Structures are given as C-alpha cells and as structure tokens.
Structure 1
C-alpha cells in the first residue's frame, strides 16, 4: 500500500512512459539524430506530452540516465545492506546488475555510454543536471568498491585496489550491453538468468583470496 496520492502516481507513471519512449528512440538513433518528434512518435503522443515533463532534449536524455541509475541503485542497495559475507554480497550485486543490463537494456545501454553526455548540456540544459547524474554514477560505483574493500579487509578477497577492481567488475558487466539483444521490448532471452549467474561468478572468481580458497578446500 502506498501513501502517494493517486494524481502523483499517474503523473509519475506518465513521466516514466515518456522516458521509456525516449530510451528506445535514443538507442535507435543516437542523441544527435533524435528529435522530440521522434520521441513523441515512439510514445504515440504529441510533443506537448513530452514537453510537459522535460524542457529540452538534453533534459530528457539526462532523465533517461537518471532513471537508469535510480533503477540500478534500487536493485543493488538491499543486497549491499544484507547481513551476508562480502563474497555473497558482491556475487548478488553483480548478478542483479547483469540482470538489469538485460531486463532494462535500452536504459542501461544508454547509461554506460558516455560519449554523448556532453552534448546533453548544450543550450538551455543546465550543467548542474549533468553533475547530478555523474554523482549518482559515482554513488553506485562506490557500493561495489565498498563491498570489495570489505572483502579484502576480511581476507575473503586478494589484496588489490578496491576502486580499480570495482571499475573492472562493472566494466565486464556493462559489456553485456554491447552484445546482448532482448527478445523484444521489455523481454529477455530465456538464458538471461544463466548469463547473469555466470557473470556474477566471473566477477567473484577474479577476487577470491587463493589462500582462503585453499583452506576452504582442505576442510
């Protein structure tokens, strides 16, 4: 049960529909070639419906990025907060990230592509909006860095640079966006859960402390 008023719920749902259409349009055409008309066509509505929520194309593009990061943070934070080992946390977080890369492929493919971000702050779109998105990205990465640092401290992981390894882990997970294609809008391939599990295992295996692993095998 939610305390959010019905009108606010409808407004949020309508705004998310605009973002869904924009994510599809930007993925199909790229930022520079996408117009508000293209987004309206994808939405099956008018430009006025888009402008009701976003003043510029740049605002809309950054809105897509923000929603992608909000979804990622919401998916991973409960796993980060769980009362489990660092190894389990990292595995579950990596698996959740991999699944999101496939389940919300349009959003996530845009979120991991940085080349067009600077274009979004041209004209009337304030640079502050870009900085807010970058801050969310850093917040998300820090969740992985913190868990890796915890695993190093507890002896679960090798002595490595936690920040560097967080980037390496996310880099491998984000690469899914390059080759994975969904079965259709909002659909995933049947093997998606297995792919997510394999990637999570790959991330953890690269960090496991070999001395601890040896001790575990001898038990």
Structure 2
C-alpha cells in the first residue's frame, strides 16, 4: 500500500512516483541548526534570490499549481511526529534553472488547538522559510514563490529534508501548543494539481468561518 495524502479527500500516490520519508533528528546540543548545511536565522528575512543566481524555483506567476497549507488534525494518530515526506523529485533531482510545482502541507496535532489556529500557523511558514540562507519564500496560500540560491545549493541545501527540519524545530519552539507535526513537500505535477482544488476549498471554508464570527 502506497502513500495516501488527505486534505479533504484521500489521494493515493501512484507507485511510479518517488516518495522519500525522513525522520527529523534531535537538534544538536550546541546549536539548533548546526546540522543544517547553511546558516539559519531571522537576519535572512527579506532576502531575494535573482533568477541568474538561483538553482531552481518553485511556484511563482508562471505556474498555476502551487500552495502551502496547514491542517489541524483532531486525532493524534493522524500525525506522525517528526516526519518529513517528499513526494516527487527532491531539490537535487531537478534540472538547474527549472521552474516546478510545489505543495507544502503541515499536519499538526495539539490537544488545545482548534481549526481557527490553522491560518495563524500557516502564515508563519513564510517567515520561517526565509530564515534559511539562500531560500527565498514569497507570498502565501496559492501564490507562493520559492527559489533556492546556487550558493546555498553548493553548500549542501540539496534536499527538502533540511527545509522540513528547520520548519519543524522553529514551529515546535514558537508554538509549544503543537504536540505533533508532520511536513510533506510535493513536487509532482499530477499530485499537486489534484490537491490544489482541495486546498482552495479549505481556504474558502476558513475565510467563511472568519466572516461568520
């Protein structure tokens, strides 16, 4: 049985699409990000990676299918804490200079969390991604645009497992209410396209709840 991804309705990932699963290791004692190949910190917020200086980019105005989404799960068994899942090609498997679809899905469990926290957590993805040296993140929801700088790729930022590790540790530090967190990156066009319409419905329902308060 292959991987199933569930936003509103479960989607089975075909066996011919590569899936990689990583367990996030404990943070090094002498520094939370010493095991990340590039520097990490708020000093990189606002960074821009020009096209001529990028290794690859994801999303942006050229592509329809791209999004980032947080889903709060009611059952702790639905979230495999500390897992980073990559569906499709990883950064180092993509062609230099290319533009690719991307979905980033954070599945979260916390006994005191409710659905209204989804948007709050989701908005921090932008901030925390930009903590990574040479990893540009613009916009939110279905307008995201990310670039990996050539220099950062050369230093070893070759996999989403590093991005997932940074996000996991920052979210767990900033939101102690989060008990479990699982992060999925999807670069496969077929899967991102199928999930895109479901993500739009989640955004619409979330906005409607806010207006009805």
- TMscore range, shorter length: under 0.3
TM-score by length of 2: 0.28
TM-score by length of 1: 0.27
Point out which structure has higher relative CO (alpha carbons under 8 A, 6+ apart): 2
Query: Which of the pair has more CA radius of gyration?
Result: 1
Q: More helix per residue: 1 or 2?
A: 1
Q: More strand per residue: 1 or 2?
A: 2
